[in-house]
Structure 1
Amino acid sequence: MGDRRADDRVLPITRWVALAIVPFLVVAAFLLFAFPQRTGELFAWAIAVPLSAFFLASAYVGGIWFFVGVVRARRWHSVKHGFPAVVVFAGALLLATLLHLDRFSQNLSFAVWMALYATTPFVVAALAVVQSPRDPRTPDSVDAAIPRRWRYVLAGIGAAALAFGAVVFVAPQFAMGFWAWPLTPLTAQVTGAVLTLTGVVNAGLLWDDRWSAFRTLFQAQLLSLVAISVSLVARRDDLLWERPMTFGLLVLVGGALVLYAVFTLRCEALSRRATASLRA
């Protein structure tokens, strides 16, 4: 007899937590994009290079899409793979904060930042554990199976991003010597935390081939990549063009944007084909 909890339901508490997080992400993204030179006054700490502010804001753009998706989700499995990524990202930012408390402004924004990151990793992890048995591990009635080659390629890209992000986080002084724009130890660790997001999300592709389980997440990643691409163009004067990493990063971001877009369109086409077959 199957587990009666496997009803694929998103619990009310999960929706309410997601709904509570969204306004913080919206405000943070707005402040970082609109006032990158006033972060010391308006944000949690003074970010010297605007491109670092834009990079973090780009991650928040994807986060907004994801958490709105959680609020609207009809099925738990459609958002489940995003929760471990949020735990790792938020946990890394909490650790970076504790390591660099002297860099933060003593203002309302820092109080909100500290409250958010002191609670979010643990609350989101608890929700993931509570919700986990509710995934029936079956496809939607109309779903698409992600081709194996796509799953392995994207999981490999994610693993590389996760490993690179971990290196940047653990060795910020090392990262400061080669990164595409000037970093401080704090912004290096924040950058490393952002890089882990795609790695943790894409790891789920190794054991889950349901497109319905990744649609919202890849839409969020695409939005983040678009925001990062626009940021790199808008703040191109912040880039250190003499460093090889700069050209490499531009190629990687552009390539990832194209690859993720093609992958998403491919899976949507498979999903439409499945719908047409069901109606035939």
Structure 2
Amino acid sequence: MTAASTTVAAPVRRTLPVMRGLLMVFAALTALAVGALFVLADNTSETFAWTIQPPITAAFLGAGYAAGFVLVALSLRDPVWAHNRVPVLTIFVFVVLTLVATLVHVNKMHFDDDFGGLSFLAKAAAWFWLAVYVFVPVAMLVALFRQERAPGDDPAPEHPVPGALRLALGVESAVLLVVGALLFVAPDTATRLWPWQLTPFTGRVVAAWLLAFGLATALAAVAGDLERLRTAAIAYTVFGVLVLVTVARFSGSLDWDDPPTWTLLAVTGAMSATGALGWRLAPAPGRIRV
């Protein structure tokens, strides 16, 4: 018997309990944000951490949180870390960028003295938002460090992404990353890039979602494995579809003669289509010994 024949494959690295715990926390937080932003888009002055106008912006952010909820909910069902790495990195990028935006525009939050006449709920939401976005990035960084050092290996990729889909994902990633970077660094460019009015604060939080999904799309294209793409593809589809719903719901907020309106629709439609295709092609999750 040769040494090669007696080699035992290393166990597959599994998602650690500490990471699963953080995902559970994020699932609860994103569910609350969907209610406050997507469902109650017209009422952020009373129910959210800061007032978001116009309401279409709140609904757009709520669509991002709905996709985030899908990311974490599906990740919690899959014990294999390699399948959860892209979703977790997507969340991490978003929370770090949102923390930066919050600290830069902290004077817009409802706990400032200028908002003394608001309800207790609005003020509590502001403090809760700040606490979450200070705690979660630090906790995720620690969990990621421990997760990548956990014993075991990533399973070998077995389901390559078709070349045409990888190309489409690469193009979409480039668009999301460029627009997101411009909005985050110079939110005043929103008047030329975005189809409705954004404040510097909301522009940067919108940019955080664009950059997070742009990174996720790039990683999915580079990884080139449908099994690792599946969770992100489902969330990507949800985000695209809900943004289209948001546009239909607040169609009066858009200038339909403005090129950015049609650019947004084209990019969102492409996101929905490529996400759905990746979802369709990816193998259904099975039982994997970890």
Aligned to 2:29: 24
The correspondence for 2:92, drawn from 87, 90, 93, is 87
Distance 1:34 1:236 in 2: 16
Greater CA deviation, 205-214 or 84-93? 205-214
Distance 1:214 1:197 in 2: 15
SS in 2 for 1:20: helix
Q: How many residues align?
A: 267
Aligned to 1:168: 183
5+ long unaligned stretches in structure 1: 276-280
Aligned to 2:62: 57
TM-score using structure 1 length: 0.87
Task: Please report how far the alpha carbon of residue 11 of structure 1 lies from its aligned counterpart in structure 2 after TM superposition.
Answer: 0.8
5+ long unaligned stretches in structure 2: 1-6, 112-122
Distance 1:149 1:136 in 2: 29
8 Å CA contact 1:86–1:121 kept in 2: the answer is no
Q: Deviations over 1:227-258 (max 9, x none)?
A: 11111101111112342211221122122212
The correspondence for 1:8, drawn from 8, 13, 19, is 13
Quick check: 1:188 aligned with 2:203?
Answer: yes
8 Å CA contact 2:38–2:61 kept in 1: the answer is no
Aligned to 1:136: 153
Distance 1:123 1:156, change over 3 A: farther
Aligned to 1:35: 40
Distance 1:209 1:174, change over 3 A: closer
SS in 1 for 2:89: helix
Aligned to 2:160: 145
Quick check: 1:111 aligned with 2:116?
Answer: no
8 Å CA contact 1:139–1:210 kept in 2: the answer is no
8 Å CA contact 2:96–2:137 kept in 1: the answer is yes
Identity %: 26
Counterpart amino acid of 2:258? Answer: R
- What's the C-alpha RMSD, in Å, of the aligned pairs? 2.2
Counterpart amino acid of 2:208? Answer: A
Task: Please report how far the alpha carbon of residue 42 of structure 1 lies from its aligned counterpart in structure 2 after TM superposition.
Answer: 0.6
Distance 2:132 2:101 in 1: 14
The correspondence for 2:274, drawn from 253, 259, 276, is 259
Greater CA deviation, 104-113 or 82-91? 82-91
Distance 1:99 1:3 in 2: 49
The structure whose Rg is larger is 2
Quick check: 1:214 aligned with 2:205?
Answer: no
Distance 2:253 2:132 in 1: 29
Counterpart amino acid of 2:236? Answer: Q
Distance 2:67 2:78 in 1: 16
The correspondence for 2:136, drawn from 116, 120, 123, is 120
